[in-house]
């Protein structure tokens, strides 16, 4: 089974490649845009995961 992180990286790779080929013609601009989108998506996902880490992941505690 694939991990969430691997799936996130694969999704970021495919989306970055698609938009890079759609929006840029020059090779140097393509590489720059690809890295910006890819690193932004992966870094943003890791940042959101890090910000959510302190919150509980289980069911809510019962009210006494």
> pLDDT tens, 37-58?
999 999 999 999 999 989 888 8
Residue 63 belongs to some domain of the structure = no
Residue 60 belongs to some domain of the structure = no
What is the separation of C-alpha 56 from the centre of its chain, rounded to a whole number of angstroms? Answer: 22
User: Which comes out higher in pLDDT, residue 63 or 11?
Assistant: 11
Residue 43 belongs to some domain of the structure = yes
- Whole domain around residue 37: which residue ranges? 4-51
Residue 32 belongs to some domain of the structure = yes
Tokens, residue 20:
């890079």
The count of structural domains within the chain is 1
pLDDT value at residue 57: 80
Residue 41 belongs to some domain of the structure = yes
Residue 8 belongs to some domain of the structure = yes
Over residues 26-35, mean pLDDT: 97
């Amino acid at each position: 089974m694939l991990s969430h992180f691997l799936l996130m990286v694969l999704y970021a790779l495919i989306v970055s490649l698609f938009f890079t080929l759609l929006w840029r013609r020059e090779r140097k601009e393509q590489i720059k845009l690809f890295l910006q989108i890819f690193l932004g998506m992966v870094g943003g996902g890791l940042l959101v995961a890090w910000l959510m880490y302190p919150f509980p992941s289980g069911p809510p505690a019962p009210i006494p």
